[in-house]
Structure 1
Amino acid sequence: MKVYWNALYQDDIRKVAEYDLPWEKMKDSSILISGATGLIGSFFVDVLMYRNKWFDMNCKVYAMGRNEQKAKNRFAYCFENPLFSFFSHDINLPITGQWDNIDYVVHLASNTHPKAYSTDPIGTITTNIIGVKNMLDFSVKYYAKRFAFASSNEIYGENRGDQEFFDENYCGYIDCNTMRAGYPESKRCGEALCQAYQHQKGLDIVIPRLTRSYGPTMLESDTKAISQFIKKAVQGEDIVLKSEGNQYYSYTYVADAVSGLLIVLLKGKSGEAYNIADISSDIRLKDLAGILANISGKEVVFELPDVVEKAGYSKATKARLDGSKIKELGWQPLYDIKTGLERTVDILKRL
């Protein structure tokens, strides 16, 4: 069974689609979403199409990605819907063709897992800089009402030891003279480009900053530690921990990540960045592994990472985000870390 038809997943979609938001802003509108077949993008599309079906929102969804067949498989339930259009495109190239004006642009496309950082560092950087510029140019050309750039907790760098939580003004240390710096530094540059376009071109932008996100829409190729743990739990295998597991991070279940994106898109102040984070999903890596081992009835075992894996790992040992700013907009997560992990494993086991 495909993830979309799973009853728990449908429940997640419904809850976000019924979230207390100014949905009227999206009625009779249009939205372009890059990275539409990814972990966050696919759930985002599902929520909008649910609103179209059950709330007569009449929002035209333009889903952008590189693989049309992948999109056809993922969005088979709505691929022929007149309110859905898939646009096959590599965002490192300018967006061509003639378009009607687009109301909202949400840029989600990015390499977001360690193996990609180490095996394709050039693609990681260009997607986060050239790709962002192409999306911004498109937004200016077609008079977008608002542009949302999905940034990352990685822009904060390493904790300097002076704060327990990173608020939106924190700036930690990044050694820019390393291959692994390509992802956080290019995300920082992407944010700077957004601010430049707001100032110089008058584009209305907001910047939702995502934590380490997970959920049943994760890609098979995802090599993040949490994704590897989840795969092992689904397969009924021991959870493999490739460090002492003392890293202390914020995580977000995909449904909560998308509700956060929506609240920033529809209620965020122009030019501002917002952490999508809640303390109920802050956890040390070894404890996260333990939860998944308990879910699967297995154990946590330790194994050294290979060279490629180690090169892509973040050096940050503590990255807990302060979510108080987005909560002023009215955002509250639906799930804590334990519940989110349980739902993820339950859904994936039934596929």
Structure 2
Amino acid sequence: MKELTRKRILVTGGAGFLGSHLCERLVTQGHDVLCVDNFYTGTKDNIAHLLDCPNFELMRHDVTFPLYVEVDQIYNLACPASPIHYQHDPVQTTKTSVHGAINMLGLAKRVKARIFQASTSEVYGDALVHPQKEDYWGHVNPIGPRSCYDEGKRCAETLFMDYRRQHGLSIRIARIFNTYGPRMHPADGRVVSNFMMQALRGEPITLYGDGSQTRSFCYVDDMIDAFIRLMNSADDPGGPVNLGNPHEVSMREIAQRIVAITGSNSPLELHPLPTDDPWHRQPDISRARELLGWQPQTSLDDGLQHTARYFRARIQASSEASSEAGSEAGAPSAPAAQRPALT
């Protein structure tokens, strides 16, 4: 890559699901990538294949504390994104969104970097408008169990827009709709990972409500393409941009597709709907099409096939590791005199 186009890029939350794919793409493009993560939900396994790359650097850091580095671009992805994880420590979730945004915006201002905020479709809440456009203000419960995430992201958007207005900062805000693919956390409680793990283990598929509530699922490779296009767009969008798949599918249908793709015999099992769980979630991506020339390219079935292979491999690796551990535990111990001294 020419030195004029090669950039030093910071990715916070870089060891997470989306962050690891983004780091991988940027490294492949020849950029110098600084991956920052506190490993609360991200894992080193997600970026282990990048550790030997000369243009990749890993730093353990929590974005609720300031960071002092020289970079050209900042992708701020740091924040737990699944209800199980963000509700575990709701105060810290809010701090990650708000303090993290303040710290990264301060860094961007100091080094004159363009900064990208990974916001969320959750800012629309249980939307009364369908599909959701960027100018819809949302229908959110500000004091419910999900509000630590929803309101934290809304506040982060406010901070980004105010830094743009007050300091002339070059910002990009992506409102990310449901995304799936390899490296999803298997125990994050989100729809695709939940259904995949249950189907591959032959367990009942947990459906909340009657399964008629809908979501729109975008494959991770398409989402990363959108991130990079938005970050590098010549035109300032002037505000948030919806990124997601406009094709809507019910929870029952996605469960049935996953059962079919995995060859599982898992039955569907209905449970009460969680508090504040949105009934519909579908993006209007007209702005992304117009500004970025972007729309998802991967079909749902193709994306689910890729994802199923990943989860199947994870389960197999976990099973083999357990078998090896069991064999070692059952092996006879060496005589005490032959054991090396502890140092």
TM-score band by shorter chain is 0.7 to 0.9
Q: Counterpart in 2 of 1:242?
A: 208
Q: Show the 5 A alignment for 1:1-351.
A: 27-52=5-30, 59-67=31-39, 72-96=44-68, 99-100=69-70, 102-144=71-113, 146-160=114-128, 163-267=129-233, 269-280=236-247, 282-297=248-263, 298-304=265-271, 310=274, 314-328=276-290, 329-351=292-314
How many angstroms does 1:71 deviate by? 5.8
Whether the aligned pair in 1 keeps the contact of 2:134 and 2:242 (CA below 8 Å) is: yes
| 1:271 maps to amino acid | G
| 1:50 maps to amino acid | T
- In 2, the alpha carbon distance for the partners of 1:89 and 1:283 equals 38
Greater Rg over alpha carbons, structure: 2
- In 2, the alpha carbon distance for the partners of 1:137 and 1:271 equals 20
Q: Counterpart in 1 of 2:321?
A: none
How many angstroms does 1:269 deviate by? 1.9
- In 2, the alpha carbon distance for the partners of 1:25 and 1:218 equals 34
Distance 1:24 1:235, change over 3 A: farther
User: Per-residue CA shift, 1:130-189, capped at 9, x if unaligned?
Assistant: 111111111111221x110011011112222xx321011012211213232221111111
Whether the aligned pair in 2 keeps the contact of 1:215 and 1:340 (CA below 8 Å) is: yes
RMSD: 2.2
Gapped runs of 5+ residues in structure 1?
1-22, 53-58
Provide TM-score, normalisation by structure 2. Answer: 0.84
Q: Which structure is higher in RCO with an 8 Å CA cutoff and minimum separation 6?
A: 1
User: Per-residue CA shift, 1:280-314, capped at 9, x if unaligned?
Assistant: 3x211111111111112324421436xxx945xx4
Whether the aligned pair in 1 keeps the contact of 2:161 and 2:239 (CA below 8 Å) is: no
Gapped runs of 5+ residues in structure 2?
315-343
Whether the aligned pair in 2 keeps the contact of 1:241 and 1:300 (CA below 8 Å) is: no
| 1:316 maps to amino acid | P
Whether the aligned pair in 2 keeps the contact of 1:238 and 1:293 (CA below 8 Å) is: no
| Percent of paired sites with the same residue | 28
- In 2, the alpha carbon distance for the partners of 1:95 and 1:341 equals 37
Distance 1:75 1:26, change over 3 A: farther
Provide TM-score, normalisation by structure 1. Answer: 0.82
Distance 1:234 1:257, change over 3 A: farther
1:350 is paired with a residue whose SS is helix
Whether the aligned pair in 2 keeps the contact of 1:249 and 1:283 (CA below 8 Å) is: yes
How many angstroms does 1:330 deviate by? 0.9
Distance 1:255 1:26, change over 3 A: farther
- In 2, the alpha carbon distance for the partners of 1:26 and 1:165 equals 41
How many angstroms does 1:40 deviate by? 0.4
Whether the aligned pair in 1 keeps the contact of 2:200 and 2:262 (CA below 8 Å) is: yes
Give the length in aligned residue pairs.
310
Whether the aligned pair in 1 keeps the contact of 2:178 and 2:244 (CA below 8 Å) is: no
Distance 1:181 1:256, change over 3 A: same
| 1:349 maps to amino acid | R
| 2:295 maps to amino acid | Q
2:67 is paired with a residue whose SS is coil
